[in-house]
Amino acid sequence: MKLVGVELRRIAMPLVAPFRTSFATMTTREILLVRVETEDHEGYGECVTMADPLYSSEYTAGAADVLRSYLVPALAAPPDLDPWAVAPALAAFKGHRMAKAALETAVLDAWLRSHDLSMGQWLGATADRVPAGVSVGIMDSIPALLDAVDGYLSEGYLRIKLKIEPGWDVAPVRAVRERFGDDVLLQVDANTAYTLADAAQLARLDPYGLLLIEQPLDEEDIRGHAELARQVRTPICLDESIVSARSAADAIAMGACSVVNIKPGRVGGYLEARRIHDVCAANGVPVWCGGMLETGLGRAANVALAALPGFTLPGDTSASDRYYRTDITEPFVLRDGHLDVPRGPGLGISPVPGQLAEVTASTEWIGR
Ligand SMILES: [Mg+2]
């Protein structure tokens, strides 16, 4: 493929309800979309950065800048562009995995369309639908939380994940178990809010039969997670700490996790995400697909990834209306607690022009 240029589009999507984690409360999701134009096709990649560097060091304005100043110009160099050429072309620039992932995904989408292949086919998906879990934010009260969980279970979600932080951990988990029973697949996510000194408090979650505790400690504290894993019975899952197949292999070897949350944006794209899937499968470590409040574009690619055989736990691949009243694509809808894997070429889904225009804040064209 020959690159013609890249469009960066900033959009602002109002959330159906505020989403609170241990690091921030969000009411609007600001997203950077990357559209690659080749001579024959176009492709989209959704950059999963948050507006502020609170989940990780990356943030949306920074991603736009590194794309504009370094990554897109570097992509102009390969004479024949394909998905495998992207990471090597960008390798000189350290970090910025979310920005790189968005650009690589856009190239991949265009390339798959040119080969009439769907993302799922190309990744090696073995399922045509994936079970959907939902991530439930920190609430103002236990009754409000129980109402929210009740609503999601009635909609058919097959797994509940509660965001936790110090002061909001054992009580919400106990309340959800008491109200909805032991059969609900339940897990928690701390987004790095604890330290190893909190091990005794986290061990108080053990009696509730959680699938996992996600990223309790700082992202760089691999040894701390390994030590914590010896002090709690609930399996430890890593999210923020896993930025590559190599870091996944290291964390598993150190005993720091027995489950991995794969987010393609966090690890630099779907090629690396698939390598992590393979490393985990070789080690007998189950994986699941995390979410970054994606629009239908990012969701489509995640659902395809989650259809790989090693994804044995339900992911945060929720229906579009979990976050957005109106998506920028045809919405993903829940059927029997599952989402269908798109079958069309590329991501298998495209923005609806009017809906995209409605939420667009700015666009910028970078010609080759
Ligand atoms: Mg997480």
Cα 353 to averaged position of ligand 1 atoms, centre (Å): 32
Handedness of CA 12, 138, 204, 193 (dihedral sign): positive
Compute the distance between CA of residue 111 and CA of residue 95 in angstroms, rounded to an integer.
24
CATH for 260: 3.20.20.120
Query: What is the CA(189)–ligand 1 centre distance, in A?
Result: 6
Domain that holds residue 315: 120-340
pLDDT score of 77? 82
Candidates 2, 94, 161, 263; catalytic one: 263
Same domain? 278 vs 215: yes
Residue 79's pLDDT is 83
Gap from CA of 238 to ligand 1 centroid (Å):
8
Q: Is 163 a catalytic residue?
A: yes
Query: What was the pLDDT predicted at 78?
Result: 82
Measured CA angle at 303 (ends 299, 308), to 5 deg = 150
Q: Determine the Cα–Cα distance for residues 92 and 100; give it in Å rounded to an integer.
A: 12
* Distance from Cα 55 to the centre of ligand 1, integer Å: 9
Task: Measure 41 CA to ligand 1 centroid, in angstroms.
Answer: 34
Residue 259 lies in a domain: yes
94 and 166 housed in the same domain: no
Q: For the chain, which residues score pLDDT lower than 70?
A: none
Beta bridge partners of residue 26, listed in sequence order: 19
Answer yes or no: do 260 and 327 share one domain.
yes
Task: Examine the domain organization and report whether 93 and 109 are in the same domain.
Answer: yes
Q: What is the CATH number of the domain that holds 62?
A: 3.30.390.10
- The span from the first CA to the last CA of the chain, in angstroms, equals 13
Please give the tally of structural domains in the chain: 2
263 included as an active-site residue: yes
Residue from 2, 94, 100, 163 carrying the catalytic annotation: 163
Beta carbons within 10 angstroms of residue 149's beta carbon: 23
Answering whether pTM is above 0.85, one says: yes
Which residue(s) pair with 362 in the sheet? 10
Query: Which of 7, 2, 81 is CA-nearest to residue 351?
Result: 7
Kindly state whether residues 141 and 94 are assigned to the same domain: no
Please tell me the distance between residue 273's alpha carbon and the centre of ligand 1 in angstroms: 15
**346 falls within a domain:** no
Give the sign of the dihedral formed by CA 244, CA 249, CA 254, CA 260: positive
Could you give the count of Cα atoms lying within 13 Å of 169 in the half-sphere of its Cβ? 22
Question: Do 95 and 185 belong to one domain?
Answer: no
What pLDDT score does 76 carry? 86
Classify burial at 277, counting beta carbons within 10 Å of its beta carbon; exposed 0-12, middle 13-18, buried 19 or more.
buried
